[in-house]
Amino acid sequence: MTFKKIKIAVTGSAGFVGSHLVKRLNELDADIIHLDIKNGIDITDWEQIKNIGNFDLLFHLAAKLYIPDSYENPLDFYHTNIVSTMNVLELCRTRKAKIIFTSTYVYGVPQYLPIDENHLIVAFNPYTQSKIICEQLCKSYNRDFDLNVIIFRPFNIYGNGQNFKFLIPTIINQAKKGRIILKDPLPKRDFIYIEDIINVYTKTILYNKTGFEVFNIGSGISYSVKEIAETIASNSENTNIEIKFSGERRQNEVMNTVADISKAKKLLGWEPNINLSDGIKYIISGKQ
């Protein structure tokens, strides 16, 4: 598989997911336009991006992500996530390019498990609300301008290079010191390894169906905070790791999420290959 004749723009190209995606696209000989604040390009500023050359496809990955920060700085989250999405949608409209937008888990407290793409959408924090607004913008550009849009709703991504604030890197860093201290052991999440995410992105480049599509991306299995901590401890070099929980519960906590990924399997021919235990081993060993 090669993408030599496809020009691909990537926002957030220097970020966690973006850097992994760019690495894979380079391996596939894609022609890449890097759009990242670390490269001096602020995609919330239309003047900085309006003259970018033509491209065929844009991956919109740039966003403010960390939920606790969205309560501390809601203006920054709403401005960054919504304005950047508005700008890249307009960029895609004027270039007649497809957009692949990375959303998030948007379902609130599940009414049923596993959760399919038709589940009720419920905003339960400022970050999620910003992503829902962005999804609505994507849908409006499809409706009004026939823009081809694919929305991915990844559940919980993890892997090498993720910000240390997130759960799995936090636990791994604590395990190195011999003591894991966490809050609530009970919440369960569906985790998807970074390379499985990249695999579905690259498959989507060759997905020729036009219009508007939404795909859940997850593993289809959920693990509790306690199970994750124990898995990390059992795979650490230190064999005598203490694990403690305070029992404190986060604001608007969702206790369990499991993705129904049957649509991605059927239409994209994709399914995850790396289970949580192996993914954690890869992170600890430094394997990509």
DSSP string, 97-148: -EEEEE------S-SSSSB-TTSPP---SHHHHHHHHHHHHHHHHHHHH---
Question: Are 64 and 76 in contact, with CB atoms under 8 Å apart?
Answer: yes
Half-sphere exposure (Cβ direction) of 70: Cα atoms closer than 13 Å: 20
Q: What is the dihedral sign for C-alpha 269, 272, 274, 279?
A: positive
Query: Could you tell me where the beta strands, DSSP code E, fall in the chain?
Result: 7-11, 31-35, 57-60, 98-102, 149-154, 156-158, 179-182, 188-193, 212-217, 222-224, 242-245
Question: Are 148 and 98 in contact, with CB atoms under 8 Å apart?
Answer: yes
- Choosing from 107, 127, 193, 207, the catalytic residue is 127
127 is catalytic: yes
197 phi-psi bin (left φ>0, alpha ψ -120 to 50, beta other): alpha
Question: In angstroms, what CA-CA distances link 236 with 145, 175, 279?
Answer: 52, 7, 13
Quote the CA–CA distance of 257 and 224 in Å, as a whole number: 10
- Is residue 48 helix, strand or coil? helix
**Catalytic site positions:** 127
